[in-house]
Amino acid sequence: MRPRVCVIGAGVGTLVATGLARHGVEVVLVDEHAGILRGASANGLARLHLGYHYAGDHEFAHQAENTAQRCVAGTLAWLRRYPEVAPRPGRWWQLITDDSMTSPEAYLAFCRRLGEHQASLAAADPAALAVLGPAQDAARVLDPADYAPHVRPGRVLLGVETRERIVDLGSLRATLERELRELPGVTLRFGRRVRAVEPRPKVGGSIVELTDGERVGADAVVNCTWHDLDRLQPLGGAGTPPMSTRLRVVACAESPPALRRVPSMFFHRGVLGNHTLFDDGPMRFVSEPVCNLATSPGAGVPESWRALLLAPEDPVRWLEALAAALTPATADAAAVSQRPPALDALAAQVVTLARRAPAAAGAAIHDAVAEAVVAGYASLVPAVRAVRHVRLLPTVTTDLGEADLYDPTGSAHRRDWWTRCDEHGTITVYPGKFTFGVLAAEDAVERALRHLGRPTTPAGRVPEAVPVG
């Protein structure tokens, strides 16, 4: 009889499910959405990082230890396994502003060391060279005349152009859906939420109870819910870092003509804004002081925000979710005072608009947030004022550490991933960010196989495909 594993969460969990199925394990994949890659995986800025985002994490080592090196390793893992996830390189302008936490000199030194790291990987591995390309193409310092027409005058002190990858989530989703259909022993349970995970001390494993009353017996459980890890399994204990939950929105709109021929942009810590451009005209963008609506300790998510994640087109849910997100999570006056004034203004609007009928109020507060995001990002990129028909994507990010994103001395831009297995065979997967997804999934598969007493060797993994160009 084949062992059975219940995988909760069909983002990174889809990679775990296919990995286990290839090893002959029966898998039940559960997600509260209607399909795979519909939650946290779907609503980011569609960027597969090569590390240039993370200049504040300075230390480099032979083994991948800092955030930038982990990003390179994560990107290589994705593109070797699923080249369709990001079939073409994108161009980014990394812009150091007058209030960035990284100085121009420090950022150039960081780029040099990251380039050396990438070059060493490419020299040792032809597959890495195919992904990373020649070292001299990785980053170049921009002439100010390149970016001056597109950014607020006097704000930018340094511009560097880098080549990273834009995620094609539709192509990845099609590949993973095909794998789920073709691999034997995979059962899908979509549109259902996990109510509880109960250990079975006498026989081993656990019972996973779903919201429709179904009880799934499993020899091991892999919890990949990312934004709600702590609800199903307390994360305390030795070796588990503290966690913070960030409730956030990403704006989507048709990109204005003035931006369609320039690269995507990232403004480093300080002003904290960025946008991704797509070939077919749309853009996704954030203005961090407005988009990060709440940061609170723990890994839980308010129910009203969860409801919004499942139905972002429902204006009533926008009203309820934003009311919860904009309510300070702490009574500490000093902590509350660090919030950007824009968030306090939005909170006051929620109170005023809530006096209307719920649907009208929800639509109005959605539009008010969209206007605030546009205004905030337009302070960096004036052309953004011309965007039309802005819609917001609600997202959740779980950060390592007790991060306060409004604290300029914090370390919110350091990222990592980890997995953990308890004595009952419940494996917790914290992927940290989309870029680390394959690394976290492979580690979770190996932990599950070890718990099940099955052999695990790197050679047992799926042969890696190498993208061209």
On the question of pLDDT at 344 being above 70, the answer is yes
Tens digit of pLDDT for each residue in 87-116?
Answer: 888 899 999 999 888 899 999 999 999 999
Tens digit of pLDDT for each residue in 151-169?
Answer: 999 999 999 999 999 999 9
| Residue that wins the pLDDT comparison between 410 and 420 | 420
What is the band of 462 on the pLDDT scale with cuts at 50, 70, 90? very low
Instruction: Give percent of the chain above pLDDT 70.
Output: 89
* pLDDT at residue number 432: 86
C-alpha closest to that of 68 among 86, 56, 82, 85 = 56
CATH number of 4-40+171-241+416-460: 3.50.50.60
* Mean local confidence (pLDDT), 259-275: 88
* Mean local confidence (pLDDT), 134-163: 92
* pLDDT at residue number 451: 93
Torsions phi, psi for 247 (to 5 deg): -95, 125
* pLDDT at residue number 209: 95
On the question of pLDDT at 216 being above 90, the answer is yes
Are the beta carbons of 259 and 383 closer than 8 angstroms?
yes
Return the DSSP state at 239: T
What is the band of 461 on the pLDDT scale with cuts at 50, 70, 90? very low
Tens digit of pLDDT for each residue in 292-340?
Answer: 888 877 767 888 999 999 999 999 999 999 988 887 654 444 455 567 8
What is the band of 423 on the pLDDT scale with cuts at 50, 70, 90? confident
Torsions phi, psi for 355 (to 5 deg): -75, -15
* pLDDT at residue number 237: 61
* Mean local confidence (pLDDT), 38-57: 88
* pLDDT at residue number 262: 93
Are the beta carbons of 392 and 250 closer than 8 angstroms?
yes
What is the band of 202 on the pLDDT scale with cuts at 50, 70, 90? confident
Are the beta carbons of 62 and 220 closer than 8 angstroms?
no
| Residue that wins the pLDDT comparison between 348 and 16 | 16
User: How distant, in Å, are the alpha carbons of 290, 303, 310, 320, 434 from that of 317?
Assistant: 19, 10, 10, 5, 26
* pLDDT at residue number 332: 47
* pLDDT at residue number 358: 87
* pLDDT at residue number 408: 60
Q: What's the 3-state SS for 89-146?
A: EEEEEEEEECCCCCCHHHHHHHHHHHHHHHHHHHHHCHHHHHHHCCHHHCEEECCHHH
* pLDDT at residue number 37: 95
Token pair, residue 46, equals 């569609």
Are the beta carbons of 160 and 93 closer than 8 angstroms?
yes
Cα torsion angle, 399, 405, 408, 409, sign = negative
3-state secondary structure of 17: helix
| Residue that wins the pLDDT comparison between 466 and 284 | 284
* Mean local confidence (pLDDT), 172-181: 97
User: Using N-to-C axis directions, what is the helix angle for 341-353 and 315-325, rounded to 10°?
Assistant: 130
Q: Where are the domains of the chain?
A: 4-40+171-241+416-460, 243-400
On the question of pLDDT at 211 being above 60, the answer is yes
- For 238, residues 6+ apart whose C-beta sits below 8 A from its C-beta are none
* Mean local confidence (pLDDT), 270-299: 85
Kindly report the average pLDDT of the chain as a whole number. 87
On the question of pLDDT at 188 being above 70, the answer is yes
* Mean local confidence (pLDDT), 341-352: 86
What is the distance between the alpha carbons of residues 318 and 278, in angstroms, rounded to a whole number? 26
On the question of pLDDT at 24 being above 70, the answer is yes
Bridge partners, residue 275, by sequence = 265, 285
Tens digit of pLDDT for each residue in 218-265?
Answer: 999 999 987 777 777 766 666 667 778 889 999 999 999 999 999 999
Residue 60: other Cβ atoms inside 10 A: 15
* Mean local confidence (pLDDT), 382-396: 93
* pLDDT at residue number 409: 63
Instruction: Give percent of the chain above pLDDT 90.
Output: 57
3-state secondary structure of 174: helix
* pLDDT at residue number 466: 32
On the question of pLDDT at 463 being above 50, the answer is no
| Residue that wins the pLDDT comparison between 459 and 105 | 105
